[in-house]
Structure 1
Amino acid sequence: MSDRWDDCIIIGAGPAGLTAAIYLARFHLSIRLFDCGSSRAATIPCTRNHAGYPDGIAGPDLLARMLAQAERYSAVREQVAVTRIAPDGDHFTVTTDHGHYAARTVLLATGVVNNRPDIDPALHDRALAAGLLRYCPVCDGYEVTDQRVGVIGTGDHGMREALFLRGYTSDVTLVAPDAGHQLDPACERALDEAGIVRIDGPCGGYAIEDDRLAFDTARGRLAFDSVYPALGSVIRSRLAIDAGATASDDGCLEVDAHMRTTVPGLFAAGDVVKGLDQISHAMGEAGVAATTIRNLLSERAPLRR
């Protein structure tokens, strides 16, 4: 166990975690920033809806800028994996693959992991970089305006993603990932009214062909200008849940308006919390969480210079 008591340990160095690090460091608080190096933002080829970057910015570049800003105020990113958060009176013991650490508060900013189609990892990354494979229509639906778009998914989630994309293009096809579609009559009616084609799976044989992403379906081989997997995601909230925090059925942590979980002193921000999975939203939540952490610590012992 480290003999240092930090004011806050931040777990995750994506947009939420880095924003919190900037705030907390500028509050003159002692912090640790633990990062296992798997921020979803690092996979973004270019985001064009993040305010302040009219020409867009790549996810890795944005993270690098944010880290440099945090480091300017003496924040240090430590590349370790956290395995456990344990409440212990008015502080926490955080266990990592590098040892145990004590903190008065903890902020979880671990985000989510997208469920991917069954596609070769190297091909996946090539298609993602080329804009042939996309995961966030809120972020980049504009870029597929009037293009031929495929959505891999079914059920209510697949239907909602296809309908959302229908606002950008009239050519949307919903393809079931495994076999036949699992759509109730209301979903089928909504898709029909929107003119969205439905095709059964399974999907396979992915390849880039003539600058399109092509794959096999029950109706033969199809190719699209861009494909959106609507396969859900894994919420990385287990650390907080195991520490006693309440989460929704899908794993999103429940927080109040100040980003406090149901465990006193444990905060959460970003995609690990139920809400809009957007960089700007995650950053706003982190700012709220960091300010609340500062005020909580000040209530326990006045902060003075």
Structure 2
Amino acid sequence: MDNVTRSEFDVVIVGGGAAGLAGALTLARARRSVLVLDSGAPRNAPAAHLHGYLGRDGESPVGLLARGREEAAGYGAQFRSGRAGTAIVADRAEDGFLVRCGDGSAVRARRLLVATGLVDELPELPGLRERWGRDVLHCPYCHGWEVRDQPLAVLGTGPLAVHQALLWRQWSPRVTLVAHDARPGPEDREALAARGIAVVEGRATGLVVHGDRLTGLELADGATVACRAVVVAPRFTARSAVLSGLGLPTTTVERGGVPIGTCVASDAATGATALPGVWVAGNVTSPVEQLSGAAAQGVRAGAAINADLVEAQTREAVAAWRAGGGEGGR
């Protein structure tokens, strides 16, 4: 959907996923001029259905975004396909930012909302990427119900593997932790045994697939761990190129003292970054946030941006009022 009719906007939103579209809808309904730049490659595209989104459970992720674009466009938001190139801070006298697009064109924005999401960096194992989002999974709240009671193999790639196995045990009593790179200690092994989770030593070397259906995880010694889904722990890497160009670095995200990825730091309530005029929403700032939470962040960021613009417009109006002598000067 390309419907751009202008070159200057109140807000340019980089990223058209749930967070970006929620921000666009909020801002467009606030009668702001909005442009959404979107690559058309959402993180959840490999998944056939989304889950845990109230009122939309089971819907196609692509379908949800298509409806979101239509809704935002209905209030005047504009869209341009393709990745944003670099965003640079314009002269503040020009009120905002210049966003250069991949095709060489450029637009001006008074404010920026970056909702570019993240990249799931999967463990090095043949076949994982091809089946990602189908039967290679990481989030039980997104996919646990769909594989309930089935044999599951957790690929141990670090210290959080034990926690992951214990978590997935809620959805199936048939969970096996394949040690791979994990090194569970005595207490971990006791906890796993108490919950009926088997531990298989050795490294995994690939997936076993029959008729486009995952049936097992192959080990280096030739053995196979039977399973209908493989659970992995990706590294969550923020898509932050456009922000890096503005001088906003990423920070390391940890869980239980273990690094799990990167993000762009922001105010938890509004999404405001350390750079005035720039907000973030969704997985680029909250790597473990789910779809509904990302959308909520987009709404909050959109409202905060509108409030910031209102304050700026009020300052300008007051200055003009005073310059004209106020009410007595009319």
Q: What TM bracket, shorter-length normalisation?
A: 0.7 to 0.9
Query: Quick one: structure 1 residues 60 and 291, their matched pair in 2 at CA, closer, same or farther if it must change by over 3 Å?
Result: same
- The aligned counterpart of 2:75 is 73
Structure 2 residue 263 is matched with structure 1 residue 252: yes
Per-residue deviation, 1:212: 3.4
- CA drift at 1:144: 2.1
Cross-structure match for 2:210: 209
**Displacement of 1:13 after TM fit?**
0.8
- Deviation of the 1:195 alpha carbon: 3.3
Kept after mapping to 2: 8 A contact 1:15/1:41: no
Match of 2:36 among 33, 36, 44: 33
Contact persistence 1:237–1:251 (CA under 8 A)? no
Query: 2:14 matched to 1:7?
Result: no
8 A contact 1:180–1:200 mirrored in 2: no
Contact 1:158–1:231 at 8 Å: present in 2 too?
Answer: no
d(CA) in 1 for partners of 2:201 and 2:114? 39
Matched, 1:119 2:126: yes
2:102 corresponding residue in structure 1: 97
Alpha-carbon distance change, 123 to 286 in structure 1, aligned in 2, over 3 angstroms: closer
Report the RMSD for the aligned CA atoms in angstroms: 2.7
Deviation sequence 1:21-65 (CA, Å, 0-9, x none): 1111111111111111221132221123211135x1111111111
CA deviation vs aligned residue, 1:56-78 (integer Å, no higher than 9, x gap): 11111111111111121222321
Aligned mates of 1:50, 1:183 — CA distance in 2:
34
SS in 2 for 1:42: coil
- For structure 2, list consecutive stretches of 5 or more residues without a partner in the other structure: 253-260, 318-330
Q: CA deviation at 1:147?
A: 1.4
Question: What does the per-residue CA deviation read over 1:239-296, in whole Å, with 9 as the maximum and x for residues that have no partner?
Answer: 2244233532132121111110111111011111126421100010000000010110
Q: 1:180 to 1:34 in 2, by over 3 A?
A: closer
Alignment partners' CA distance in 2, 1:123 and 1:269:
28
Equivalent of 2:178, from 175, 178, 187? 175
Cα distance change on mapping 1:185 and 1:91 into 2, 3 Å: farther
* Aligned equivalent of 2:294: 282
Unaligned runs of 5+ in 1: none
Q: Secondary structure at the match of 1:288?
A: helix
Shift of 1:80: 1.8
Amino acid at match of 2:263: C
Instruction: Give CA deviations for 1:108-138 in whole Å, capped at 9, x if unaligned.
Output: 111112123533489526xx4xx42223212
> What whole-Å deviation, never above 9, does each CA across 1:204-258 have from its counterpart, x for those lacking one?
3424237433231145122312222213222212322442335321321211111
Distance 1:188 1:241 in 2: 42
Task: Write the letter of the residue equivalent to 1:25.
Answer: A
Say whether the 8 Å CA contact 2:8–2:108 is kept in structure 1: yes
1:228 match: 231
State the TM-score, normalized to the length of structure 1: 0.86
Question: With structure 2 as the length reference, what TM-score do the two structures score?
Answer: 0.80
Shift of 1:8: 0.9
Separation in 2, partners of 1:84, 1:189? 51
Percent identical among aligned pairs is 29
Write the distance in 2 (CA, Å) between the matches of 1:201 and 1:231: 20
User: What's the counterpart of residue 275 of structure 2?
Assistant: 263
